[in-house]
Chain A
């Protein structure tokens, strides 16, 4: 036994648990910053802040959501200033795009009985990631928190400190825009590209 001051066992355990979320934090950081070096910096900054304020974390509450909140704050502080691209709020009609309904209206001839499966089979992972990266950041944040990380509306509202109604409308619009961005990737069926 040494006399060195040691972090309480609970803190060690908590920081270990925090580190177990690094893949989730990194993939969020990568989609937000758009490149690996900035994503690594953002994750490092997130953990620096988290370890510094770990004593403020209330055990029994949601550590994962708490870490994402720190990451979002760090992102807004460090990166938002550089790439200010406000969400376009005037183009409401663009936010009602539905890939499925466009597909039904086109002469898209699926080679299988289930056209919805065929559409997904034609979308590469790369094209999905590119489309996500194209979303305005306010929409990207909620889409990633919901569809990639599986947070509830209430958790997203807490992570981003916005009202639940705003979460719902951004999520709806973000998901619709994502489909609109993905439509040209289905160009083997030219009629789907009509109007793009």
Chain B
């Protein structure tokens, strides 16, 4: 079983799903058994999702898209 420090080291690799299936499962097992780590991971996951949502609200201006289409035809 991984301890809290070992799980902390894998925080982002776990949230980014960049660990091997075995390591993903090992972190998951720790989180299931350790509420403090679980709450922290949930916070970090929500944080990442929120940052992504904020930045993704930006859209390209329509006239830029038009200009790019014209560029393609020239």
Measured CB to CB, the residues of A under 8 A from B are 15, 19, 22-23, 25-27, 30-31, 36, 40, 43-44, 47-48, 51, 99-101, 116-117, 119-120, 123, 125, 128-129, 132, 143-144, 146-148, 150, 152-153, 168, 171-172, 175, 178-179
Q: Is the interface of A mostly helix, strand, loop or mixed?
A: helix
Question: Given the complex of chains A and B, what is the CA–CA distance between A16 and B52 in angstroms?
Answer: 25
Question: Given the complex of chains A and B, what is the CA–CA distance between A179 and B47 in angstroms?
Answer: 9
- The CB with the most chain A CB atoms within 10 A, among B40, B51, B52, B65, is that of B51
* Residues of B contacting A171 in the complex (Cβ-Cβ under 8 angstroms): 12, 16
Contact between chains at A27 and B72 (CB < 8 Å): no
**Chain B nearest CB: distance from A101 CB in Å?**
8
Does B1 sit at the interface, judged by CB under 8 A?
A: no
Given contacts A116-B42, A132-B51, A19 and B56 within 8 Å (CB-CB): no
Does B44 sit at the interface, judged by CB under 8 A?
A: yes
* Residues of B contacting A146 in the complex (Cβ-Cβ under 8 angstroms): 16
Contact between chains at B67 and A27 (CB < 8 Å): no
Contact between chains at A117 and B46 (CB < 8 Å): yes
**Chain A nearest CB: distance from B38 CB in Å?**
11
Q: Is the interface of B mostly helix, strand, loop or mixed?
A: helix
Contact between chains at A128 and B50 (CB < 8 Å): yes
* Residues of A contacting B46 in the complex (Cβ-Cβ under 8 angstroms): 116-117, 120
Contact between chains at B55 and A100 (CB < 8 Å): no
* Residues of A contacting B55 in the complex (Cβ-Cβ under 8 angstroms): 27, 31, 128-129, 132, 144, 147-148
28 contacts between A and B (CB under 8 A): A19-B65, A22-B64, A22-B68, A23-B59, A27-B58, A27-B59, A40-B61, A43-B60, A43-B68, A44-B71, A47-B68, A48-B71, A116-B39, A116-B42, A119-B43, A120-B46, A120-B47, A120-B50, A123-B50, A125-B54, A128-B51, A128-B55, A144-B55, A147-B48, A150-B52, A152-B16, A153-B16, A178-B51
**Chain B nearest CB: distance from A62 CB in Å?**
17
